[in-house]
Amino acid sequence: MKNASKEIFRPLKESNFFFNCHKDISCFNDCCAKLRLILTPYDILRIKNRLELSSDEFLSLYTDTVIEPQSPFPMVKLKMNRKGEKSCPFVTEAGCRIYKDRPGACRLYPLGRASSLVEGGKGVIEKFFVVEESHCRGFRENKSWTLNEWIDHEGVAEYSRMNDQWLKLVTASRKLGGNAITQKIQMFFMASYNLDKFRAFLFKSRFFDLFEVDSDLKKELRDQDVSLMEFGIKWLGFSLFGDKTLQPKGHGREFKTSA
């Protein structure tokens, strides 16, 4: 998340930090404008369900697609209001109207998080830092937090757990193998950001004829968005990088994707 005001990033080395945000503080809502906020699949899932929108509707109304120079994969960022202060489309004078389902970056603020996988992919190493923006008066408030208190209070752990699965793919140093790179990028976009279309892809193609998926999981994929998202990440590992995250039926059969 990036605001036009000056930012100071410092490691969170102290045992606690002081911060509080409330509607009576003079800078209330100032941090919710002119953002370059990249959304994760879990962010999108939570927000679209909160708004009772389809994936297509949410992506069309509230996001732009961007290509980062360091990644082959398209990213999705939240679209700011086009007029005035270019504020977040979900902010009101009373605060965030999707607060319980706000994105992980908003949830963690005023902290930032850097993570890296433990060798072998088992576990994550986390480092946290404080983002002090010049306009923010929250750091002058007399409310003390430890890191664990803040994470628990803001519901950060669930978002980190869900996001780390996907970030493992996005930050992989491996190159996309094989042919049909454009088709693989389309598959990445669908399985990451458009769960409605991904569900239709699974159930209207021959997918379940070609991959081992037990009946209980198949029911979850039809009914539960989180299970579908996690399955999509496994499918991307398999289809993009050849990871053994799914079990094909038979031998030597190639599944043709169509996004």
* pLDDT tens, position by position, 66-80: 988 878 899 999 999
Q: Are 248 and 211 in contact (CB under 8 A)?
A: yes
Structural tokens at position 6? 């000056």
Residue range 104-132: mean pLDDT, rounded: 82
- Listed in sequence order, the residues at least 6 apart from 204 whose beta carbon sits closer than 8 Å to its beta carbon are none
Distance CA 134, CA 140 (A): 12
Q: Chain-wide mean pLDDT for the chain?
A: 88
Interval 126-163: pLDDT, tens: 889 998 888 899 999 999 999 999 999 999 999 999 99
Cα 148 to chain centroid, rounded = 21
225 pLDDT above the threshold of 70: yes
Residue range 23-30: mean pLDDT, rounded: 92
More confident residue, 121 or 30: 30
pTM: 0.89
12 pLDDT above the threshold of 90: no
